[in-house]
Amino acid sequence: MRIDVIGTSLELTGQARAYTEYQVFLRMAPLANDVESILVVVSPGDDARDTICHASARLRGSGQIRVSTRHNEPTGAIDAMASKLSAAVCRHLRLAPAQ
């Protein structure tokens, strides 16, 4: 399972990139056999205080899942996205959500 993290219109620090990769990996590792790759895009919201996370998971042989989150803190947006992506993939695969 490959995880790519990019920032649009903002500079992602190495620490922010590592945090994002870790949170996605933590939630998605139990699903790694079913997930080919994940792309996470972190960007500022319309309100400069908001952060938006879009994530797209390409599943092995069963399509693609996309989720988006918005939060007033970057870590909140990242955490919510990782949780929402895991739940969406589990629903698609009809599995219990990864904790």
> Per mean pLDDT, which range of 5-14, 26-35, 58-67, 85-94 is the poorest?
5-14
| 68 strand-pairing partners | 54
Q: Indicate the pLDDT class of residue 56, thresholds 50, 70 and 90.
A: very high
Q: Indicate the pLDDT class of residue 10, thresholds 50, 70 and 90.
A: low
Instruction: Give dist(CA 20, CA 78) in Å, integer.
Output: 6
Between β-strands 2-7 and 35-44, what pairing exists: parallel, antiparallel or unpaired?
Answer: parallel
Task: Give 16-32 pLDDT, tens digit per residue.
Answer: 899 999 999 999 999 99
Q: Which tokens go with 11?
A: 């500079």
* Check whether domain 2-93 has CATH 3.30.160.100, yes or no: yes
Between β-strands 2-7 and 51-59, what pairing exists: parallel, antiparallel or unpaired?
Answer: unpaired
DSSP 8-state assignment for residue 13: P
Instruction: Give dist(CA 21, CA 23) in Å, integer.
Output: 6
Domain boundaries, the chain: 2-93
Confidence (pLDDT) at 49? 82
Kindly report the pTM of this predicted structure. 0.89
